[in-house]
């Protein structure tokens, strides 16, 4: 299972972090880094082409050729904006994959309680949590640790102090523990 497909919303609603190997996560990280590098090169080439079209437009005397250069610059500008948007999306996905790698490395399979808590959460929900727990482009280990510890102890201490799990069950009575965590991540 490729985590990239989960991030794109194509599949993985029943997948958990347990079913994704660290090697697969690292492979997807490399794919995203290569995609990011490719987009960076495309942006650079389009910017150079735009500058070249601008210089050409300055040198020609014909109004028609100046307009043609201006249209070419406008098309290149649209391409640059598209590449930049793709670059931002790829960077966002890369941060999530990094967060999942960190989470996978932090979880000790020998600690069955910690391991089972994270593996109750579906991969899309976990990626949503990792996305919310990311601050300034880096996953805060404390937030992941709070999630695991809170679910183990029956308490959750995200963003506002300890909340008893029974209080959370009262607020969301029909929710499972992973759904409660998902709801907390929205707060």
Per DSSP, the residues of 81-136 read: HHHHHHHHHHHHHHHHHHHHHHHHHHS-TTSHHHHHHHHTSBHHHHHHHHHHHEET
Mean pLDDT of the chain, nearest integer: 75
Neighbours of 155 (CB within 10 A): 17
pLDDT at residue 56 greater than cutoff 70: yes
**Per-residue pLDDT tens over the stretch 126-137:** 777 777 776 555
Strands (E), 63-153: 134-135, 138-139
Cβ–Cβ < 8 Å for 180, 172: yes
Is residue 7 included in any domain, yes or no? no
The domain boundary residue, chosen from 66, 83, 106: 106
Q: 77-95 pLDDT, tens per residue?
A: 999 999 999 999 999 889 8
Verify that 117 and 147 share a domain, yes or no: yes
pLDDT(167) > 50: no
Domain boundary among 62, 83, 106: 106
Q: Which of 106, 125, 143 is the last residue of a domain?
A: 106
43 and 74 share one domain: yes
CA distance 94 to 86: 12
CA angle 182–109–154, rounded 5-degree value: 40
153, 68, 90: which is closest to 117 by C-alpha? 153
Do 101 and 134 lie in one domain? The reply is no
Q: Do residue 76 and residue 122 come from a single domain?
A: no
Q: Which domain holds residue 172?
A: 108-187
Where does the pLDDT of residue 155 fall: very low under 50, low under 70, confident under 90, or very high at 90 and above? very low
Q: What is the pTM of this model?
A: 0.68
- What is the rounded distance in angstroms from the CA atom of residue 183 to the CA atom of residue 129? 10
Q: Within this chain, do residues 113 and 41 fall inside the same structural domain, yes or no?
A: no
Query: 152 pLDDT exceeds 60?
Result: no
Mean pLDDT, residues 161-185: 49
pLDDT over 50 (residue 116): yes
Q: Pull the structure tokens for residue 181.
A: 């965590």
Same domain as 113, residue 102: no
Task: Report the number of distinct structural domains present in the chain.
Answer: 2
How far apart CA 123 and CA 119 sit, in angstroms, is 9
Q: Which of 22-31, 32-41, 91-100, 112-121 has the lowest mean pLDDT?
A: 112-121
Q: Please tell me the predicted confidence (pLDDT) of residue 17.
A: 79
């Amino acid at each position: 299972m490729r985590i990239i497909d989960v991030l794109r919303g194509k599949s993985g609603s029943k997948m958990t972090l347990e079913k994704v190997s660290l090697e697969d996560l690292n492979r997807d990280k490399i794919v995203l880094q290569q995609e990011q590098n490719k987009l960076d090169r495309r942006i650079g080439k389009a910017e150079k082409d735009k500058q070249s079209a601008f210089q050409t437009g300055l040198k020609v005397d014909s109004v028609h050729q100046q307009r043609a250069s201006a249209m070419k610059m406008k098309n290149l500008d649209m391409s640059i904006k598209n590449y930049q948007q793709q670059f931002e999306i790829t960077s966002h996905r890369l941060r999530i994959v990094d967060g999942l790698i960190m989470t996978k490395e932090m979880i000790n399979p020998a600690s069955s309680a910690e391991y089972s808590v994270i593996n109750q959460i579906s991969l899309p929900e976990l990626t949503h949590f990792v996305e919310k727990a990311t601050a300034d482009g880096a996953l805060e280990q404390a937030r992941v640790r709070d999630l695991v510890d809170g679910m183990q102890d029956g308490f959750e201490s995200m963003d506002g102090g300890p909340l008893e799990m029974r209080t959370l069950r009262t607020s969301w009575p029909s929710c499972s523990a992973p759904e409660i965590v998902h709801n907390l991540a929205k707060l």
